[in-house]
């Protein structure tokens, strides 16, 4: 088991998963590797493996119809896990839920330990957050659009509003995603971040080399947003693993095109501590 800056590789029945040790002290979670492709013929079977590995029935592994925004879906334990947003109802013997029935959003959260929350990425940032005090958890999908829209900020604000989470109690893990080494972007992205109200920080998130090539550092952008929300520096853990640079471990849209697989980032609450 190799240790990467606070992250560990762990063995599942289907292969290797990545976990943050610090987040693991608060919530069950993992990031999948390319041994689960999560696309094409084996997609449904792969998602049932994800559900089994996080310890919930398939129907209680909730996903999103991701749209690159900052909308939040909340599943409260008081709703008995049967909140209005829970897709269903499943018929007898039915175990999978059609993708189009998942809510259109990029952030979801719950304090219900009988649910697991997933986001799927192929270069975008998968961000998992858990609250040490209330046990509430969130899964966030943040590509450049979501990052420019302030998805991480929206997630922290919603955890505070919905579950009374204090930013200082939150632990976050930034999973494998395209790194500043490989994420070459166009100047229009700077405009998009500016239009969202970001200012001086843009200069540290974008870097232009001697040849004029512009690169975006989504890891730092998301970390900075979490810091600005009040998370402590030591509570934000980045895997620092670039999907495009590591074909042996991860699918990458930028490297392999639209037919590539997906990484699932999944998290499950252990319930309130107190």
Selected range binding Zn ion among 3-11, 27-35, 60-68, 234-242, rule: CB under 5 A: 234-242
Distance in Å, CB of 181 to Zn ion, minimum:
3
Q: 253: part of which helix (H) or strand (E)? A: helix 253-256
Nearer to Zn ion, 76 or 182 (CB): 182
Q: Decide: is 242 part of the binding site for Zn ion (CB under 5 A).
A: yes
Q: Decide: is 185 part of the binding site for Zn ion (CB under 5 A).
A: no
- Which of 24, 179, 238, 261 forms a contact with Zn ion (CB under 5 A)? 179
- Which of 67, 182, 185, 202 forms a contact with Zn ion (CB under 5 A)? 182
Residue 210 burial (C-beta neighbours within 10 Å; 0-12, 13-18, 19+): exposed
Within 10 angstroms of residue 223's Cβ, the number of other Cβ atoms is: 21
Nearer to Zn ion, 162 or 217 (CB): 217
| DSSP track, 125-149 | EEEEEEETTT--EEEEEE-HHHHHT
Q: Decide: is 113 part of the binding site for Zn ion (CB under 5 A).
A: no
Selected range binding Zn ion among 48-56, 101-109, 152-160, 172-180, rule: CB under 5 A: 172-180
Distance in Å, CB of 173 to Zn ion, minimum:
19
Q: Which residues are paired to 177 by β-bridges? A: 242
Distance in Å, CB of 241 to Zn ion, minimum:
9
Query: How far is it, in rounded angstroms, from Cα 183 to Cα 193?
Result: 16
Nearer to Zn ion, 167 or 179 (CB): 179
Q: Quick one: which of 86, 13, 108 has its CA closest to 51? A: 13
Nearer to Zn ion, 47 or 249 (CB): 249
Q: What does residue 123 show for φ and ψ, rounded to 5 degrees? A: 120, -35
Cis peptide before 89 (omega within 30 of 0): yes
Distance in Å, CB of 244 to Zn ion, minimum:
5
Residues within the interface to Zn ion (CB under 5 A): 179, 181-182, 242, 244-245
């Amino acid at each position: 088991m190799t240790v990467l800056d606070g992250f560990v590789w762990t063995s599942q029945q289907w292969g290797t998963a990545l976990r943050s040790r610090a987040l693991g002290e608060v919530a069950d979670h993992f990031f999948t590797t390319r041994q689960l492709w999560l696309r094409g013929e084996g997609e449904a079977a792969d998602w049932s493996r994800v559900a089994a590995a996080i310890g919930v029935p398939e129907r209680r592994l909730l996903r999103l119809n991701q749209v690159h925004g900052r909308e939040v879906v909340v599943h409260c334990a008081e709703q008995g896990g049967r909140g209005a947003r829970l897709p269903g109802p499943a018929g007898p013997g039915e175990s999978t839920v059609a993708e189009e029935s998942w809510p259109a959003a990029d952030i979801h959260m719950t304090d219900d330990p009988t649910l697991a929350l997933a986001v799927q990425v192929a270069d975008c940032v998968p961000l998992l957050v858990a609250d040490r005090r209330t046990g509430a958890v969130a899964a966030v999908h943040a590509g450049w659009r979501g990052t420019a829209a302030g998805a991480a900020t929206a997630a922290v604000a919603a955890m505070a509003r919905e579950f009374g989470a204090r930013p200082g109690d939150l632990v976050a893990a930034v999973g494998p995603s395209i790194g500043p080494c490989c994420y070459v972007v166009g100047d229009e992205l700077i405009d998009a971040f500016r239009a969202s109200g970001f200012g001086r920080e843009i200069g540290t998130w974008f870097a232009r080399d001697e040849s004029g090539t512009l690169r975006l550092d989504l890891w730092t952008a998301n970390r900075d947003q979490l810091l600005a929300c009040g998370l402590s520096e030591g509570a934000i853990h980045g895997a620092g693993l670039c999907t495009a640079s590591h074909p042996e471990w991860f699918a990458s849209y930028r490297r392999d095109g639209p037919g590539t697989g997906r990484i699932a980032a999944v998290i499950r609450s252990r319930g309130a501590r107190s």
